[in-house]
Amino acid sequence: MQTNVNMKVPLADEALADVMMRIVSELHDVAYLIERIEPMLGEIEEEAAATSPDRVKLLQGIDLAVQKTRGLAEFIDTVTGTIPQEWLVDITTAVNLVKLADMQRSLGKNAPRHGHSQPLTQAAGDFEFF
């Protein structure tokens, strides 16, 4: 995870549908990242969860966050299918307001998508300072 608030994306109009599909892809990434946490919390809290309604609610909340994120992604994906390719937007300001450099690149113009935003190949314990 990197931050870079000074990164500027060149001014250019692009198809709204393309921008929306990049947002859909980011939402799927968020859901996936949350899902990766859920099993670990379930194992850690297994015994305690059986005796604590608050812990059960926490695990249910995590599951709900995944479902809502996926639901939003599917909703935007479906609506995007009806947007004409001729509808253009300038996303320069919006992208520059995003604090995570990786997300700026993912949402920026002509950003290629290569799997998840969080690589699964990093060794456990690898992290980036921000």
Distance, in Å, from the CA atom of 28 to the CA atom of 46, rounded to the nearest integer, reads 27
Please give the mean pLDDT across all residues of the chain. 79
Note the Cα 8 to chain centre separation in Å. Answer: 21
Percent of the chain topping pLDDT 70: 67
Predicted confidence (pLDDT) per residue in 5-23, tens digit: 455 545 578 999 999 999 9
Provide the pLDDT for residue 47.
59
Predicted confidence (pLDDT) per residue in 65-97, tens digit: 999 999 999 999 999 999 999 999 999 999 999
Distance, in Å, from the CA atom of 29 to the CA atom of 31, rounded to the nearest integer, reads 5
